[in-house]
Structure 1
Amino acid sequence: MYAFSFCNPTRIEFGAQKEQRIGEYMKEYGVKKALLVYGSERIKQSGLYDTVVGSLKACGIECVALGGIKSNPVLSKVNEGIDLAKQSGVDSILSVGGGSCLDSAKAIAAGAKYDGDVWDFFTGKATIGAALPIFDIMTLAATGSEMNRGSVITNEATKQKYSVQSPFWFPKVSVISPELQATVSDDYLVYSAADIIAHSIEAYFTAKIHPEIISMQVESNIKTVIKTTEILLANPQDHDARGDFAWAATMALNGLTHVGVHAFNFPNHTIEHAMSAVCNVPHGAGLSVVMPAWMTWYKDQNLPQFERFAREIFGLSDAEAGIAALKAWFDKIGTPTTLAQLNIVGDVLEEVIDVAAQNAQARGMEKMYNQQTIRDIFALAK
């Protein structure tokens, strides 16, 4: 196990109806006025919006709202939120939604304390030195953003989808109420499953040092996702399965599965970010296309771990059989596995390849993931 330092300051409030206490949780941190960031109007139709606003008011917390956050969150909406946060003088940000809302909330929280362009943080021109405190209520399990310090934003003008991390972006309190996630559509359930698995395998396959205990944790996470996805497709109201699925999403990217791990990268995300930036495909749908192709291309560089994956996840002995089993499972649950299913072909594919190569260069991965390499990987996804 490689030497490490570990700290995760986020407080998780997990369980039914915990969203009703969000005002109490935020009051503990001295919040007086919050910017409520959310996505679609469904939270108003479901009554969640009124529940949240009522809880804040009961605790003496004013609320200013910003709706309309999209999947694959965009810079223009973040800038709108920053302007609103500054003009209204809020002292905190509350995200109610999925990872897109929370990633936007994090960027807004930093931008509200910065006089320059928030995109400076994503391009490395500036370092985050402060941010408003962040709180969230998760309505979709996928990104793990509720217990980590990362944010991913798309600059729609440049078609750059970049991620950045900051210790100022750990949420103070994250509410995970599985019941709130029971209305997630089948499409977004399976896209989320692919996203969680992608978070789980990046270091698992690419790290030079990957301790046995961490491999076991990753495998447990993946098996949980596979099992609970199938249960939830059959019965969306199974709250036990919903809770396990939600916690698997959190565990996949809260740092615990990277403890003692060394020298790894995120090639599947680097490539997929180009797909969703150029074509606005759902992130998880893009990942379910990239993963089997990338695994096939990469497997010989870490064959023992791929054989372990096949054995531990699917009870198979051959690396290629394990990859085929994962792809077959993606097909079974209905998330895409080919570029044609996402209509990424011809000139559009060439643009995606160009942007993916730029992403790799921005992450210092250009030696392995140049245009030709990425083209070769995509050739396995047709």
Structure 2
Amino acid sequence: MLVYGGGSIKKNGIYDKVCSLLKDFTVYELPGIEPNPKIDSVRKGVALCKEHQIDMVLSVGGGSCIDASKNIACGAFYDGDPWDLVIGHSKVTKVLPIAVVLTIAATGSEMDNAAVISNPETNEKLELNAPNLYPTLSICDPTYLFTLPPKQTAAGTVDIMSHVMEQYFQPNNEAFLTDRFSESVLKTCIKYGPIALKTPDDYEARSNLMWASSIALNHLLTVGKGGAWSCHPMEHELSAYYDITHGVGLAIVTPAWMRYVLNDKTLDRFVMFARNVWAVEEPDPRKAALEGIDRTAAFFRELGMPATLKEVGIGPEHFEVMAEEAVRVSGIAKRSFCLLNRDDIVSIFNSCLE
């Protein structure tokens, strides 16, 4: 089964190439996977798998297509609603082989065992995670990124950086080598993100961003770290309720979170981030930390990302329920870099308004 999104792979020729290579196989198609993949699309895919006894799921696209394909691949062997697998990972048993042709550098789903699925019926956006959800193979050709729209290139770069920062800002300070790996990936995004926007067919830029995407979420940067993520649970609520692009939400939330959690306890880590990632030379530690945060926000702006929720049409109407849900579905209140409760998250959301 061939899984893909809109019409971009037909415009850039990837669809024709894939179909040509698969001419000796029986191929069923599932087009129309959404940017925030919905459980209804997964249900359609599962039904096709069962009806036609599909042998492999081939995802041609970005993280949304891959994540939907992962849920479909395990749903093919489940008798109930595939949403059950998202809320009960232990129910994942057998999984169809998953193949990937990657068309955007962003989520890292091409090299990990997780999938994020949205359920508009419940306003939930949750992660499905199982040991057997790694793709069997992933074809990562940087030339397939040449035709990406600027907004997707920018949002993907932010997403990569956010994955790294979620693992970099953790309670554990002893993983020296892992921290250096993380800083290198961040500097790679800072160097090549603007180049890819200015010159879309720059192979060096695209290849480095593609590799950064995979490294950022293939578990290499979790070594010696652990702990819960912070910005992703908050952003997942924004995109669950408002269906905004994931990287856009992260660009808004991340600097606000940084400013909120900067305190005497977290200062050293932010100073390290400022000096090693942004080459901040300010001698005063707190001023250096703030400059690092400001440079992060400015870089997101340079990429063309919005800086406020107002810019994407989001108001405070659902902040409290979204904050409660972020706490409920994550370890942000118990295992994160700086423990946050519902009121803390509401404050961060409010700081993103203007």
**Fold conserved (TM > 0.5)?**
yes
Q: What residue number does 1:163 align with?
A: 127
Pair 144,364 (structure 1): closer, same or farther in 2 beyond 3 Å: same
2:10 to 44, 54, 67: 44
Q: What residue number does 2:27 align with?
A: 63
User: What is the CA–CA distance in structure 1 between the aligned matches of 2:323 and 2:141, rounded to whole Å?
Assistant: 36
Q: What residue number does 2:57 align with?
A: 93
Q: How far did residue 210 of structure 1 move? A: 4.6
Moved more, 292-301 or 174-183: 292-301
User: What is the CA–CA distance in structure 2 between the aligned matches of 1:288 and 1:64, rounded to whole Å?
Assistant: 37
Conserved? CA contact 2:2–2:59, under 8 Å: yes
- Secondary structure of 1:91's counterpart equals coil
Moved more, 310-319 or 179-188: 310-319
User: Could you report, residue by residue, the CA deviation over 1:285-344 in whole angstroms, capped at 9, with x for unpaired residues?
Assistant: 000000000011112242211100000111114111100111011112211111111111
Q: What residue number does 1:282 align with?
A: 245
2:304 to 300, 310, 334: 334
Q: What residue number does 1:378 align with?
A: 349
- Secondary structure of 2:324's counterpart equals helix
1:365 to 332, 343, 350: 332
User: Could you report, residue by residue, the CA deviation over 1:33-69 in whole angstroms, capped at 9, with x for unpaired residues?
Assistant: xx11000122122221121111122xx3221110000
Q: Gapped runs of 5+ residues in structure 1? A: 1-34
- Secondary structure of 1:247's counterpart equals helix
Moved more, 370-379 or 90-99: 370-379
Moved more, 281-290 or 251-260: 251-260
Conserved? CA contact 1:357–1:369, under 8 Å: no
Question: What amino acid is aligned across from residue 222 of structure 1 in structure 2?
Answer: L
The runs of at least 4 consecutive aligned structure 1 residues that moved more than 3 Å come to: 364-369
User: What is the CA–CA distance in structure 1 between the aligned matches of 2:298 and 2:324, rounded to whole Å?
Assistant: 28
Pair 356,91 (structure 1): closer, same or farther in 2 beyond 3 Å: farther
Question: What amino acid is aligned across from residue 3 of structure 2 in structure 1?
Answer: V
1:179 to 139, 143, 157: 143
Q: How far did residue 254 of structure 1 move? A: 0.5
User: What is the CA–CA distance in structure 2 between the aligned matches of 1:238 and 1:95, rounded to whole Å?
Assistant: 25
1:83 to 18, 24, 47: 47
Conserved? CA contact 2:172–2:224, under 8 Å: no
Aligned residue pairs total 342
User: What is the CA–CA distance in structure 2 between the aligned matches of 1:346 and 1:379, rounded to whole Å?
Assistant: 7
Pair 133,267 (structure 1): closer, same or farther in 2 beyond 3 Å: same
TM-score w.r.t. structure 1 length? 0.87
What percentage of residue pairs aligned between the two structures are identical?
Answer: 37
Question: What amino acid is aligned across from residue 232 of structure 2 in structure 1?
Answer: H
Question: What amino acid is aligned across from residue 245 of structure 2 in structure 1?
Answer: P
Q: How far did residue 136 of structure 1 move? A: 0.4
Conserved? CA contact 1:160–1:355, under 8 Å: no
Conserved? CA contact 1:278–1:352, under 8 Å: no
User: Could you report, residue by residue, the CA deviation over 1:220-276 in whole angstroms, capped at 9, with x for unpaired residues?
Assistant: 0011001101111211110111000111011100011111223x1111000000000
Question: What amino acid is aligned across from residue 153 of structure 1 in structure 2?
Answer: I
Conserved? CA contact 1:270–1:356, under 8 Å: no
2:276 to 297, 304, 312: 312
Pair 364,205 (structure 1): closer, same or farther in 2 beyond 3 Å: closer
- Secondary structure of 2:27's counterpart equals strand
User: What is the CA–CA distance in structure 1 between the aligned matches of 2:320 and 2:213, rounded to whole Å?
Assistant: 28
Question: What amino acid is aligned across from residue 190 of structure 1 in structure 2?
Answer: A
Q: Gapped runs of 5+ residues in structure 2? A: 283-287
